[in-house]
Amino acid sequence: MTSSAYIGRFAPTPSGFLHFGSLVAALASYLDARACGGRWLLRMEDLDPPREAPGSQDAILRTLEAYGFEWDGEMVRQSERHAAYDAIIERLLQHGLAYACTCSRKQLEGNHGIYPGTCRNLQHATHDAAIRLRVPELEYHFVDRVQGKFRQQLGREVGDFVIHRRDGLYAYQLAVVLDDAWQGVTDVVRGADLLDSTPRQLYLQELLGLAQPRYLHVPLIIQPDGHKLGKSYRSPPLPADQAGPLLLRALHTLGQQPSAELDNCSAQELLAWAIAHWDATLIPRSRTLAEAQLR
């Protein structure tokens, strides 16, 4: 791969502070980009103002800086991209690839959370309605650099999914695909909690004629006791004065082998070492890792 061809990114959601799991994902994407001389972009996924924790955008930036991360160019905010999202939604509607859904929450209960297609052919007006993407009864699959082959039958396992919510919020699945393409991202490195979102994103890329990035999903950090996998479980916010020890711990989590001499190094020195020694093939081939098992 020629170095200038690689564009990676970190895309935090400002619903809270960065925690150890976010550090592992940020570090993996950073090292994977820098190890081959690639660019590393920062994108704030602020799609959901009601769920945004006040002050978290600033706190995320300060933490990344304290941990020695340097991003290329200006940070992009999804809250500034609504016009681009609207244009694509309009296009999908015009082509009959998406449709308005007026089902109530009650109507959506059951069916294991998979939308049964009730409004597919009802031609509802689009105001005061959610917009759903029509999905085909087809399997979408890809080979993840860490997790290996992953497949999903979109119709059966996911169903027609929402790209624009009734309350006006844009869906992550749509925004992430449009922005990765717009920013020229070639390599998506993120937590394995998003593995099962990837086939939806592949389908959107195919519909819109966008290039498919490579994917690398790092293990999701779960409860210290290894139980109750929690999307809900979040380790505490990352303290700025623990950058060295926590970067070392994140490197061990990613299967890298920092030597003991690095124990008292600064964040910048650790990152420089880690870029020079990055080996993505050492990342544990597991969807989850319990925090307690980590050094």
Binds ligand GLU by CB under 6 A, chosen from 93, 108, 129, 194: 194
Is position 80 annotated in a ligand binding site? no
Binds ligand GLU by CB under 6 A, chosen from 119, 130, 162, 176: 176
Which region, judged by CB under 6 A, interacts with ligand GLU, from 5-13, 56-64, 118-126, 231-239?
5-13
Residue 137, both tokens: 């009864």
Nearer Cβ to ligand GLU, position 13 or 256? Answer: 13
Is position 36 annotated in a ligand binding site? no
Residue 198's φ and ψ, nearest 5 degrees, are -60, -45
Is position 140 annotated in a ligand binding site? no
Site for ligand GLU in 39-78 (CB under 6 A): 45
User: Which of Zn ion, ligand GLU, none does 208 bind, CB closer than 5 to 8 A by kind?
Assistant: none
Strands 139-144 and 148-153: antiparallel
Nearer Cβ to Zn ion, position 120 or 285? Answer: 120
Site for Zn ion in 104-123 (CB under 5 A): 118-119
Site string (259-278) toward ligand GLU, x via CB under 6 A: --------------------
Separation between Cα atoms, residue 142 and residue 140, nearest integer Å: 7
Which region, judged by CB under 5 A, interacts with Zn ion, from 36-44, 100-108, 162-170, 256-264?
100-108
Is position 265 annotated in a ligand binding site? no
Nearer Cβ to Zn ion, position 122 or 240? Answer: 122
Binds ligand GLU by CB under 6 A, chosen from 7, 11, 64, 171: 11
12 counts as binding ligand GLU under rule CB under 6 A:
yes
| Contacting residues toward ligand GLU, per CB under 6 A | 11-13, 45, 176, 190, 194
